[in-house]
Amino acid sequence: MKMSDSVASVFKLPRLTRRLWQVWRRNFDAFMKTYKVNFFPPLFEPVFYLLALGFGLGSLVMPIQGVSYIQFIAPALISVSMMYGSFFECTYGSFVRMYYQKTFDAIIATPVSVEEVIAGELAWGATRSVINSTIVLAIVTIFGLVSSSLFILVPLFAFLVGLMFSALAMCFTAIAPNIDFFNYPGFLFITPMFLLSGTFFPLTILPQSVQTVALVFLPLTHVVNLTRGLILGNIEASLLLSFLWIIVVTPIFFVLSINLMKNRLIK
Amino acid sequence: MTEGKKVNPEVLIRARNLAKKYGDFLAVDSIDFDVFKGECFGFLGPNGAGKTTTVKMIYCFFPLTSGELIVAGMDVSEKPREIKSMIGVAPQEDNLDPDFTVEQNLLVYARYFDIPKAEAAKRADELLKFFRLEKNRKVIIDQLSTGMKRRLILARALINRPQILLLDEPTTGLDPQARHLVWDEILSLRKQGVTIILTTHYMEEAAALCDRLLIMDNGKIIEEGSPADLIEKHIGEEVLEVDYDVNIIKILQEKFPDTRIEMSSDKIHVFTKQPHGVFESFLKDFPAKGATIRRANLEDVFLKLTGRRLRE
């Protein structure tokens, strides 16, 4: 196969039908079987962060961009929960289903196609983003940290963001030789994003070069910008760029991840 | 079954020059075969012969490298969804869903076939009964024995009421009791008119279940026919086994010049097409040590055709 052919093949548009929701439904049913365990981490983690960083560290920090420190980090915690929920679902979760449980093989023997299996996984990863971030949003609301009625759009936005991180995650899953491999994207991609995406301090404090890298390569930067806008209500023109970044990157990786997985599963 | 009335059997699966390559490795090498409606058709062969790859092409899992494969009048490359909806697959490996119970495994699987909920529940009930898994319906997969898992995989393969059932090594790893139970169930399905395709490397399994079979090695078909015909053609009626002894070999070679004599570590196997009773009269004259006369079986055919060399 020529180089140009193989590049074209990984960007080929998949043919999808509503059957992808049958795969989504399988994951939803499995999730609901153990929902108690599944709901606790996203419930407690942000509480600890709000207490430690918001109240603790926050009492030593001057207001940022006109809001208290705890108000500054609250939207970031919501954004991080979108990223974690979807990224880990479509790395560790999908890998276990693909590699150890052979769930994908079992489904591909039915009228559901391999493309729909992966698309269903991505849709489920996006749903995890919605579930986790909605829990965090509820806690942030209880703490009285929401100051705009635009917050109502957060779950919808979380689906889009979740789809993006799921697709990125699925690309790693497609090339992962074993489950330990996910440590690499974990500390080379997720951890830097967690810390350097304008989450716990404004991006503008950082050197210009790091700012540029964060804006070009770290999706969470744009997610944090937009979530902060929705929670605090300060809508600026720059948010449009962040939104454009996400809606351009998401479909590219959505298609890429499906084709990479197809190449891995079907020889 | 209406024995003896198969004048024009309907071809359900037709393969012509079917080939599959993984990189440079030719797993299936231009094979032709027909599977008739209502029969139990076996793929035999040592590990790596290409059996599973062939089966995976039939259920549209692997695309063909070249050739033609038609299932129920449909091309596998064109109508995978339609073909998959009429096939039931019981794979070699356990891919039951460990997140669910026995019953939920059937219900979740039914959803992939668009079977309505009430209908799926009805079928799941019937299948759990048929496969004697009713008592385990609420049990998580992890707690099932190997035999129960196998039966649940068979039950799952039947949830869409398939016309064709693909069984990839259905009894590997089972104890004799569980194996016979699975055989009974397979035979009973065949009686109900389900076309069954089976891969195995257990010869007694093939002999017990298959109407016709083909023997594959290195991606090629090396023989095909009914179990009885293949035994008749390649081995004959009887086999004589005696303990290894240099003198006996000489006598055997003199007495049976037209006969194949094969040696394994400590036994000599003598195959003949001469009529029934020749070995018995031979043993009267030369009472060899450890001698037994047994009926020829499919394993003799298999080892003759594929050799005794270990495959890994």
Q: From the CB of residue A204, how many other CB atoms can be counted at a distance below 10 Å?
A: 9
Residues pairing with B195 in the sheet: B164
Q: Do A101 and B97 touch (CB under 8 A)?
A: yes
Given a cut of 90, whether residue B239 has pLDDT beyond it is no
CA atoms within 13 Å, Cβ hemisphere of A57: 13
pLDDT (mean) for A23-40: 90
Q: What is the pLDDT of residue B293?
A: 84
- Token pair 């109900």 is found at B192
Q: What is the pLDDT of residue B7?
A: 57
Maximum average pLDDT range among A75-84, B218-227, B255-264: A75-84
- Scanning B191-250 for CB atoms below 8 A from A yields none
Q: What is the pLDDT of residue A2?
A: 62
Q: Do B99 and A30 touch (CB under 8 A)?
A: yes
Q: What is the pLDDT of residue A7?
A: 82
pLDDT (mean) for A158-186: 97
Q: What is the DSSP letter of B136?
A: G
Q: Do B112 and A22 touch (CB under 8 A)?
A: yes
Residue in B closest to A102 by C-alpha = B95
Domains assigned to chain B: 11-227 (3.40.50.300), 236-295 (3.30.70)
Q: What percent of chain B has pLDDT over 90?
A: 60
pLDDT digits (tens, 9 = 90+) for A72-96: 999 999 999 999 999 999 999 999 9
- Token pair 């009791």 is found at B177
Helix-, strand-, coil-residue percentages of chain A, each rounded to 5: 80, 0, 20
Strands B195-200 and B40-44: parallel
- Token pair 């016709």 is found at B212
Beta carbons of B102 and B156 less than 8 angstroms apart: no
Q: Do B91 and A109 touch (CB under 8 A)?
A: yes
Beta strands across the sheet bearing B195-200: B87-90, B164-168, B195-200, B40-44, B212-217, B220-225
The CA-atom distances, in angstroms, between B138 and each of A91, B94, B110, B126 are 30, 19, 17, 15
Q: Which of A30, A111, A267 sits opposite B84 (nearest CB)?
A: A111
Residue B3: pLDDT band (50, 70, 90) is very low
Q: What is the pLDDT of residue A41?
A: 78
Q: What is the pLDDT of residue B135?
A: 95
* Average pLDDT for chain B: 89
pLDDT digits (tens, 9 = 90+) for B75-108: 999 999 999 999 999 998 899 999 999 999 999 9
Q: What is the pLDDT of residue B1?
A: 42
Tell me how far apart the alpha carbons of residues B20 and B28 are, in angstroms, rounded to a whole number. 5
Q: Could you state, in order of their start, the residue ranges of all structural domains in chain A?
A: 62-181+188-265
The pTM (predicted TM-score) of the whole model is: 0.90
Task: Report the complex ipTM.
Answer: 0.90
Beta carbons of B200 and B42 less than 8 angstroms apart: yes
